[in-house]
Amino acid sequence: MAATPQPIDTLLSVLDDDEPIQLVDYDPTWHELGRELVQQVSDRLHELPVDVAHIGSTAVPGLVAKPIIDLQIGCTPRDLDEVLTRTQQLGFEHLGHPGGPGREYLRRRTDQPANIAVVELHGRLWADNIMFRDYLRTHPAAVARYAHAKLSAAKEADALREYSALKSDTVSQIMSQARTALDTPQPAETASDHP
């Protein structure tokens, strides 16, 4: 049976370049850094039909996180190559689609570190990342539970892949709660959902 796609924190577990984990307390400046990066990327892609959003743990007030801003860009398949080219011009390294079909990853480790996932505009992966973020923003008990899972995983894990695997059950449970709360059907599993 194929795995259900997970939000950006879990999807990053499959990157070729595993990274050490550093969690820090929530920093209120992340909101502004995320807003500024969304604007910078949006300006670069201004005439393309895209949507850019700040996602991941740095987009959730009060949540411990890796001090790396996560964005997602939604675009049409027709515009994917142009989106990737222009995003790389902002200093992002293209890592391909290690999370499986339908998602391209870029990262920048200079200036303010950041990750970008490029997905189908308003597709399932787009919707799941937004739903996960928004559910956490409005459910403090879920934030506390997720923070506990993240901190426990970080104590046991040496790097990103192991960290992500250790917290994946909690992420799946919170996604299920979010779908139930929003009355969103559980997605059908397909072979393309496999990271």
pLDDT tens-digit series, residues 35-86: 999 999 999 999 999 999 999 999 999 999 999 999 999 999 999 999 999 9
Express as a percent the part of the chain with pLDDT over 70: 85
d(CA 142, CA 162): 22
- Parse the chain into domains and list their residue ranges: 12-181
State pTM to two decimals.
Answer: 0.84
pLDDT tens-digit series, residues 125-150: 999 999 999 999 999 999 999 999 99
pLDDT for res 188: 55
pLDDT for res 56: 96
Examine the pLDDT at 190 and tell me if it is beyond 90: no
d(CA 73, CA 175): 20
To the question of domain 12-181 being in CATH 3.30.2000.10, the answer is: no
d(CA 7, CA 151): 18
